Structure 1
Amino acid sequence: MVCFLPLVPMAGINTHFEWEALSSVSHSLKQVLLGGGRRHFLPKVARDPESTAEDGRRLDGRNLVDDWLRDKKKRGLRGHYVWNKGQFESVNPKYIDHLLGLFAYSHMDFEADRDKSSNGDPSLAEMTRKAIQILQKNPHGFFLFVE
């Protein structure tokens, strides 16, 4: 769980890699992804669901949200995508094994500036709690990176 998903710092160091690089990482490490940077998941021809004046940034035509959901369905997994606090709060960890939450077109707001309404964003504490509720179901344990 990070603030800007397309550039994910691993193990707290300043090395960054693109979202597609996650495909080489174990699927278990991609169980819960929460943060901002939605524009990098959407193709140029797609409108952002919150910022309707904004388009996606992907020039390859891929919609990585759709790809992620399709992958979960294909593998018989219970995946869910959310993009605001209201949708996030409605997620019941009992019935979800994989969660993708892209709460901002670009970077997420600082806590003091965050829209706390149901159309806004969950707090870092709320995202962390939900992630733990989902991940703790794994009998083999889990790794959670919070930034």
Structure 2
Amino acid sequence: MITDFTPWQALLGGVLIGGAAVALMAIHGRIAGMTGIVSGALSTAGSDKNWRLAFLVGAIAAPLLFINLPGQSLQFASDSPLWAVLFSGAVVGIGVSFAGGCTSGHGVCGNARLSPRSITATVVFMAATFATVFVVRHVLGGF
């Protein structure tokens, strides 16, 4: 699978993600880690649940609004079989529990705070990603 490099869209996306993380920290004193937000939305009661649900609604609604703008489209296709996607999701879920957070919590928020734990977690999950892509594409021949 080859993807197009879109620097302006990538920059805008990064600014929006960073801005949302800063706003959440400034307003609620919370880390914008999607795994923690989802798990908290499923288990927390009261006002803490409200901001989590609002964050998730925004994370889902924003791309849907974007692709409905004139001239925008979402090109998504995957040659990966469903079992591989489900297995990958399960492995990521297990990794998130061992790492004490996800890529958004550690990679965006933790690294910005220069957290040694987050820097270590980010290095480990990036190395694991590189190794997995190499093995799947070049050793196993891709899915």
When normalised by structure 2's length, the TM-score is: 0.32
More helix by share: 2
Task: Determine which structure has more spread, i.e. the larger CA radius of gyration.
Answer: 2
Structure whose residues are more often strand by fraction: 1
* TM-score between both structures, scaled by the size of structure 1: 0.32
